[in-house]
């Protein structure tokens, strides 16, 4: 009898702890997910690049998106629509982006709501809306042919990129450091604690990628300490086997393949983008 009461007390205590932690996760999910940097720490001119400053008003609301548009080197050259990760802002992506611009690619590097000079607050749905607004700007205002448009989603940016690829025509998609869904990421962070059940955001990339009808390149470092390599591999397996290519970067950490491989990184992506 004493043992049974002890077991019941332990179960009750553990359940109470999980519920409390789950409530904390739910209430603080935005703070645990998004880490925006407001201060721009670099500008295109610092890298010798010419860019047009872009400000997009979102619908009838007050929120606006800020970004930089880099015109392609020649008509018809690929244009990258970049959905960046969950930390920092666009100024922290210029070093990575520069070699693409030097190769004659165009690009739109924009900040989600709440990041950099973009106003408002981010959420899963708003990231998708922001990516759609960026896409419409390129196609409608800049006359970019959707077949020349390459959606590039890095880390959490894979979620809006894949969703956008289903809703709008594009040429190809590149995903780097991506994961399957939010619950799998939560399991990798919280271990055996079932806190993923309390999350409101789904980030269901693997559930959508099978609906993509254009070629997809998925890049993932084998030693990624932020998004486990296994999640990247499983994401590739969830896609159309005839359309998805998976590139395992040996020894790579999270989104550092460009620094690790140098020109080989850009050559491999360029071969995918420009290959038939």
Give the tokens for residue 44. 């295109």
CB 114 within 8 A of CB 121: yes
Catalytic residue of the set 188, 204, 254, 256: 254
Give the tokens for residue 141. 């205002």
Is 155 annotated as catalytic? yes
Distance CA(59)–CA(64), nearest Å, equals 9
Is 141 annotated as catalytic? no
Catalytic residue of the set 155, 196, 206, 220: 155
35-36 and 87-88 strand pairing: parallel
Is 136 annotated as catalytic? no
Q: Enumerate the active-site residues.
A: 155, 224, 254
């Amino acid at each position: 009898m004493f043992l049974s009461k002890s077991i019941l007390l332990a179960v009750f205590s553990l359940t109470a702890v999980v519920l409390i932690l789950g409530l904390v996760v739910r209430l603080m999910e935005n703070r645990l997910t998004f880490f925006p940097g407001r201060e721009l720490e670099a500008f295109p001119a610092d890298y010798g690049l010419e860019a047009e400053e872009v400000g997009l008003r979102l619908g009838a609301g007050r929120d606006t998106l800020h970004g930089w548009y880099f015109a392609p080197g020649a008509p018809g050259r690929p244009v990258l629509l970049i959905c960046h990760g969950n930390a920092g802002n666009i100024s922290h992506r210029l070093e990575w982006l520069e070699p693409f611009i030097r190769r004659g690619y165009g690009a739109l590097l924009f900040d989600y709501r709440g990041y950099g000079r973009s106003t408002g607050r981010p959420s899963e749905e708003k990231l998708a809306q922001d990516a759609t607004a960026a896409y419409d700007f390129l196609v409608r205002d800049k006359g970019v042919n959707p077949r020349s448009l390459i959606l590039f989603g890095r880390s959490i940016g894979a979620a809006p990129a894949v969703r956008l690829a289903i809703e709008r025509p594009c040429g190809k998609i590149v995903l780097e450091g991506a994961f399957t869904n939010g619950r799998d990421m939560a399991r990798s962070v919280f271990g055996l604690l079932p806190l993923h059940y309390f999350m409101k955001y789904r980030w269901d990339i693997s559930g959508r990628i099978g609906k993509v009808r254009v070629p997809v390149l998925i890049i993932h470092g084998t030693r990624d300490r932020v998004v486990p390599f296994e999640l990247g591999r499983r994401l590739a397996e969830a896609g159309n086997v005839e359309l998805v290519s998976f590139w395992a970067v040996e020894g790579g950490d999270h989104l550092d393949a460009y620094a690790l491989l140098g020109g080989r990184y850009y050559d491999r992506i360029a071969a995918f983008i420009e290959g038939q």
